[in-house]
Structure formats: structure tokens, C-alpha cells
Structure 1
Amino acid sequence: MSELTSSTINFDLNPLFALFSSFLLAFSYVSSLYIKSTKEGRNHPMTIKIRFLAVTTSCVLATPFLYLLSNSDPKGHTLWEWLGLRSRGLVLGGTLPLLLTMILFCGPLVQRYDAGVFEIYRDMNYWKTSLSNIYWIRNHIMGPVSEEFLFRACLMPLMVPTFGWKAAVCFCPIFFGLAHFHHMLQKIQFEGLEFKTAFFQSAFQFCYTTTFGAYCAYIFVRTGHLLGPILCHSFCNHMGLPDINEVLNEDDFDKKARAICFYLLGPVLFFMLLKPLTTPVLFSNDVYYQYL
């Protein structure tokens, strides 16, 4: 155990082997959800608890698996550093990516402010209720932590040294997007949707989860920290997809104009600040810096 935590390693893998290993890790995560079948859907509390245990086990086993794939290198880094679990630059590694994501969502945030939603966040009872709600925990804590750990922290060390950071940012998220296709079974079996409808809904989900995955992969390789992608994932789960129709159907002209303005301003500022706010030196990112 001490060797696993303190040895310096590198990943120098055959490209096909790196892809196959990445597939195995992604498959282990998704398949773990179905090891113990239940008659209830994915939103039943018992199903959620079983899946908590399943994905936790999958993530724990992924750590020694990665170590076995690595090779010893005195000039390398520890496994925890490859996984983005390090203390140097941690505060900025969490706050700047989250700030960047909030800038992208400033349109929806303005909508929520105008609707008075921010008042709820000031109520301690909201947080107490949320932290005791298993659905909230799944969407805001367990889901983001387990998915970002496996699909970013575990896959990027395999892909970046082998294919380069740009290819890794493009290809790693495909595993993440495909992993969400299993929701199609839920839609057919428990929601009664036809195959065609369920497929197209899942295909749409694949598109936005893959896009989001590319963003988190970019954040991970630029900052060298796992905390940033986790916080961004949790925030995006909380916000959901922007509701453009709500903006267009707003009766109050001032609120409508303000929302539209911030909907346009948000993406512009986001792309302007994306590179400066993820400069590797800000986060003491000497793990992935050599590949950038």
C-alpha cells in the first residue's frame, strides 16, 4: 500500500492497450450499476443506495488497476498526483474552474436571481434538507465525485501521455457520453417510452454529456486537480440545461432584456477567460504541464 501511494510512476502504453484499458474502466463503472438488479427504477431509494456501493467499489478497484498499468520512473509522479489528488494549488484548482462555469451560466443565474431563487440558498433548512435527501446527494455529490474520478482522473493518465492532451480531451469524453446510454433502458422499462423515442433522447444526452466531458477533461489537464471538474459537474447538475423558452416567454420586458443580455455575454466572457483562468502555473500543475 505504501508503494502505491509513494512510488513515482509514468504511463507509457501502447495506443490500442490504452484505449482498451480505458474501455475496461468505463465498462466496469456502468456494469457495476447492474450487478445487483432491482425491480424498481433508477430513482428508487434502494436502487440509489445499491448503486452508491457499486460505483464506489468500481472507483476503489480502478486505483490499483491503474498502478498495475504504470511503470516505475524516478522522474515521474505519484499515482495520487496523476489522479489530481494533491494539495498544491488546490484552492485555486477548485474555485477558478467553478467561477468560469458560473460565468458561462450567468444568463440562467440572472433568471434565478430575478425569480427570487437565491433567497432559498440563504435558508439553512434548504441545505439541511438537501443533505438528507438521497436524490440531492446522488446528483450533487455521489454522481459528480464518482464520475469525475473514473472518467477524468482515471482515464486521462492513460490517454494524455499516449495520445497527447488535445486528443485525450476529445476522445475521453466519448466514453463518458456512451456511459449514459444505459439510461435508455430506464426510459423503455420504467417510463414506457418507445425504443425510437428513448434512443433519440439518449442520443441527445450523449451529445451534451460528451461536450461537458470535454470541458471537464480540459479543466483537469490544465489544472492537474480533480476538485475543479467535480465542483463544475455538481454545479451543472444543479443548474440543468438552460431554459431559453422561459426567457422568450417572460412578460416583464426589463427582466427579459436583462436575461437575454447575460445569455449572450456569458459565453463570450467564458471563452475569453477560459485559457487565462486555467493557466497551469496558477495551480502548480507540473504533472500534465509537460504535455500541454
Structure 2
Amino acid sequence: MAPIKLLADRFSALGKMYEQYFKGAQKPPAIAPTTAAALSVLFTLIYVVPFYLSPQTRPSPQLTRDAPSSIRARVQAVTCSCVASFALTVFVLHHYGNASPQEVLKLLGFWPISFLDTAKTMLLVAILFAGPLFEAGVVDGDMKEWLRWQPVREVLASWIGYRNYVVGPVSEELIWRSLIIPLHILARFSGKQIIFLTPLYFGIAHAHHLYEFRLTHPRTPLALAVLRSVFQFTYTSLFGFFAAFVFLRTGNILSIILAHSFCNFMGLPRFWGRVGVEAGVPIGPPGADKRADESARRVQSKGIAWTVAYYVLLVAGAVGFYLQLFPLTESIYALPVALREQ
């Protein structure tokens, strides 16, 4: 009986090993993490490199990036880049991730679209910009123009506005959120990794503005130009962290596009000085000072109480944003951390 008992014990040990190391083991990710990173770099290059391949899109001392002809050519180039990147992403999700068409649409943030989630996201961004909204709408008196949809008409009438508030937000959020994030989900990156890693591609994509700025501002010291570029990388990455977080939480690309456009319009908040004197720094691409003509230099005509109110609202908005970040991004349409198990 001893040999039989010994044999049974060995089979039992083998069974435990099978349960521990094989049956309970997770399947490998559909694509390797390095593949997701390589595709992200590829999409970034596909987006940026075409700007320098044609004389119509390549900046020069004679042709700035704000020239209507340059904007039109760049819009065409960006459209082609987005189509190519979109097709490749859909192929990878379907072929390697075994995602159904419905799952592909969900991972891309296309469907279902919750307008309630979009409204909550915009409310969250408005809370953050409580101070700047107060300054622009009340102190500077732009509220009447907003109620008449004057900014929208200006966007549709200007190539620069069309680029900064329509093409830029749509194409950038499509590439760096809608396409790149699902690839990292497929590679089983954690939520924190996706939030803090993928926006770096977005920030790096803006590094080429240093070269463009040097062409159009040759007299600016190199150190100041580099500092400007580092500053831009910082705030584009910070917005990217927020955008990636909201995209994962809501699975809604529309929310991120509208938030991006809104932030471009508002610019960076004022952190010093009295309100009503000058506008903030635009958060959009260099040269995107959409309010330069009407509000870059304002005559101080308000009392100190207006300035105090602004900074109180600025701090209250930051606190409110922190407190409402999770409640206002709660959604039943949140993206999964990985594709369904097959």
C-alpha cells in the first residue's frame, strides 16, 4: 500500500502545481507592451513628420504656421495621418485583440456616447476655470459675447480659430487618447501607467514647435526658447494626464475633445497681478493667442475687490476640481483595463 500511497501523493502534488502554475495563470497580453509603445511613437511621427515634407506645410521665415495656406495644407496632412492611424488601430484591436465591432467602438470612445457624462466633464473643467471665467466673463465683460455665440462665429470665420478649436482638439484627442490608449489596454498596462505614460507622447509631439519658434523668432535667446518649449511640454502633459484619466473613466471621446477646445479657448489662468490688465498665456499651440486683438492689453478700471474675488475663485476652483474629480467622472461606460478573456 505504501507505493500506491506514494504515487497518489505525487499525482496530488502534480495536480497542485497544475492548478497553481497553469490553470490559474493569466493569458499573455494580446500585444506586447513594447508593441503598444512602438505604435504610439509611430502615430506621433505620422502626425508630426508630414508637416516638414512639403513646402506648403514646412515652416520657414517666409511662411509661418499661421498662414491660411499653411493651415489648409496641414489640415489635409493631419486628416490623412488620422485615417492611417485609425485604420491600423482598428486592425490591431480586431485581429490581435479579437474585439468585436461593438467592442472596438467602445474602446475607441465612439459608442455609446453619454451626453450626461459630457456635461459632467465640462462642469468639472468649468469649476477648475472658475477664476478665469469670472475674469473674462464678468470683469472683462465677455459674457454678452458668449451668450450671443460670438466666439463660435469667430472660430468658423478664421482659419486659425478652426485649427485651434476644431481640427487641433479633434485630431489630437483621436490620436493620443482614442487610438493610443486602447493599444495600451490591449497590452495590459495598468490604469495608472496609461494615465501617466500615454500623455508623454502628446507632450513630445509638441517639441517640434521649438524649431518653428526659432525660425519665426530668430532674435529670441536660445535659452528662453528652450524654456518656453519645456513649459509647453509641461502643461500639454498635465492636460494629457487629465484627458487620459477622464477617457478611461467615461469611455467618451466627445468629452475630451470639448474639454480640449475649451482649455485652448480659455488659456492658462492668471497666477499674479490685478485682473483686467492682460490676458493669460494660451494653452494651445504657439501663436494661438485667439484673444490678442481684443484683450491682450486692458486698461485697469476695477477696484481691488475684483482681484481678490478672482484669486478666491481661482483657489476655490482648484479645490472644487480636486473634490469633484472622481464624482463627476463616474460612469457606467468606463473602459476596461483589458479586453475580455477569450
TM-score norm. by structure 1 comes to 0.88
Q: Does 1:53 align with 2:104?
A: no
Matched residue, 1:99:
123
Q: Which moved more, 1:130-139 or 1:244-253?
A: 244-253
The residue aligned with 2:304 is 253
- In structure 2, do the counterparts of structure 1 residues 124 and 95 end up closer, same or farther at CA, with 3 Å as the change threshold? closer
Confirm or deny: 8 A CA contact 1:188 1:194 kept in the other structure.
no
1:178 corresponds in structure 2 to 204
Letter in 1 for 2:82: C
Structure ranking higher on relative contact order (CA contacts 8 Å, 6+ apart):
1
How far is 1:19 from its partner? 0.7
Q: Give the partner amino acid of 1:94.
A: T
Q: Cα deviation per residue 1:58-95 (whole Å; 9 max; x = unaligned)?
A: 11111111123232536785322211011x34202321
Name the residue aligned to 1:27.
45
* Closer, same or farther: CA 66–126 of 1 in aligned 2, 3 Å: closer
Runs of at least 5 residues in structure 2 that lack an aligned partner in the other structure? 1-28, 278-299
The answer to whether the Cα contact below 8 Å between 1:247 and 1:260 also exists between their aligned partners in 2 is no
Distance 1:128 1:262, change over 3 A: same
The residue aligned with 2:237 is 210
Instruction: Confirm or deny that 1:85 pairs with 2:110.
Output: yes
The whole-number CA distance in structure 1 between the counterparts of 2:256 and 2:89 is: 20
Point out the structure with the larger helix share: 1
Ranges in structure 1 where 5+ consecutive residues have no aligned partner: 1-10
2:173–2:256 CA contact under 8 A, matched in 1:
yes
Larger Rg: 2
Give the one of 33, 39, 50 matched to 1:15: 33
Question: Are 1:266 and 2:290 an aligned pair?
Answer: no
Percent identity, aligned pairs only, is 30
Corresponding letter in the other structure for 1:239: M
| Displacement of 1:195 | 2.7
Structure 2-normalised TM-score?
0.76
d(CA) in 2 for partners of 1:151, 1:121: 30
Deviation at residue 252 of structure 1 after TM alignment: 0.9
Which digits, 9 at most, give the CA deviation of each residue in 1:101-137, with x for residues without a partner?
0100001111112221111213355533331111111
SS in 2 for 1:78: helix
**What does residue 3 of structure 1 align with?**
none
Match of 2:336 in 1: 288
